[in-house]
Amino acid sequence: MGKLNEQSVQVIDRIVDRHRGRPGPVKLMLHDVQKELGYIPFEAMEKIAAASGVSAAEVYGVVTFYTQFTTEPKGKHVINVCMGTACYVKGSADLLQRICDLTGTKVNQTSADGLFSLDATRCLGACGLAPVAILDDQVYGNATSSTALEDRIKAIIKTESGVQ
């Protein structure tokens, strides 16, 4: 575990201070840290534990329970592919594989260039649009027949490689 940079420590301290003393602050703090840093470093869990009076083990338990929280930095763009029953029947496993190939990411991991994170998720509650995927908060339905999602991914890759 590498040492966290000073800037991230300040972000964590600010978030912890903001929610300190509120009832049930653990999840509020975790959500904010996840949002601002893109992941939850161990140092953050320790600070949150100390501020909220629960053990670090318990905070870690919460982090590993919810899929929204990650202990490793997320990529710049996050893709969620629904693995719920309806989506699965409509071919979301194939979709997942195609996205893996396209982005060079393994399932539930982040690509080496840090551009994409790919998560297989539980039911997203949009079964009528199965199979469903979400890219950066944008929902893509009927993703097997429509190429909208893949076009968007390709566009991102193109832009980002242009930047570099």
Partner 1 sequence: MTKINLKINNIPVQAEPGSTILEAARAAGIQIPTLCYLKDVNKTGACRVCTVEIKGAKSLGAACVYPVSEGMEVFTNSQRALEARKHTVELILSNHCGDCLSCIRNQNCELQKLAQQLGIRKVRYEGEKTPPTFDEVAPGIVRDTSKCVLCGRCIETCKKVQGLGILSFINRGFNTKVAPVFDKSFNDVNCMQCGQCVNACPVGALFEKEDIHRVIEALNDPEQHVVVQTAPAVRAALGEEFGLPIGTRVTGKMAAALRRIGFDRVYDTNYAADLTIMEEGHEFIERVQHQGVLPMITSCSPGWIRYCEFEYPDLLEHLSSCKSPHMMFGAILKSYYAQTHNLDPRKITVVSIMPCTAKKAEVVRPEMRKDGVADVDVVLTTRELGRLIKMYGINFENLPDEDFDQDMFGQYSGAGVIFGASGGVMEAALRTVKETLENKPLDSLDFTVVRGMEGVKTAELEVAGMQVKVAVASSMSCAKPLLDEIRAGTSPYHFIEIMGCPGGASTAAVSRLSTLRSATALSRLTGRRNGQRRYMMRMRYRACVNRMRTRRSSRCMINS
* Residues annotated within a binding site for [2Fe-2S] cluster: 82, 87, 123, 127
Shortest gap between Cβ of 44 and partner 1 (angstroms)?
12
- Is 64 a residue that touches partner 1 (CB under 8 A)? yes
- Among 2, 21, 24, 65, indicate the residue that binds partner 1 (CB under 8 A): 65
- Among 60, 68, 88, 120, indicate the residue that binds partner 1 (CB under 8 A): 60
Shortest gap between Cβ of 49 and partner 1 (angstroms)?
9
Secondary structure (H, E, C), the chain? CCCCCHHHHHHHHHHHHHHCCCCCHHHHHHHHHHHHHCCCCHHHHHHHHHHHCCCHHHHHHHHHHCCCCCCCCCCCEEEEEECCHHHHHCCHHHHHHHHHHHHCCCCCEECCCCCEEEEEECCCCCHHHCCCEEECCEEECCCCCCCHHHHHHHHHHHHHHHHC
- Is 61 a residue that touches partner 1 (CB under 8 A)? yes
Number of residues binding to partner 1, judged by CB under 8 A: 13
* Nearest residue to 76 via CA among 31, 27, 39: 39
Shortest gap between Cβ of 63 and partner 1 (angstroms)?
9
Q: Please give the residues from 38 up to 57 whose contact with partner 1 meets the rule CB under 8 A.
A: 42, 45, 54-57
- Per CB under 8 A, which region of 59-67, 86-94, 95-103, 105-113 contacts partner 1? 59-67
Name the site residues for partner 1 (rule: CB under 8 A): 42, 45, 54-58, 60-61, 64-67
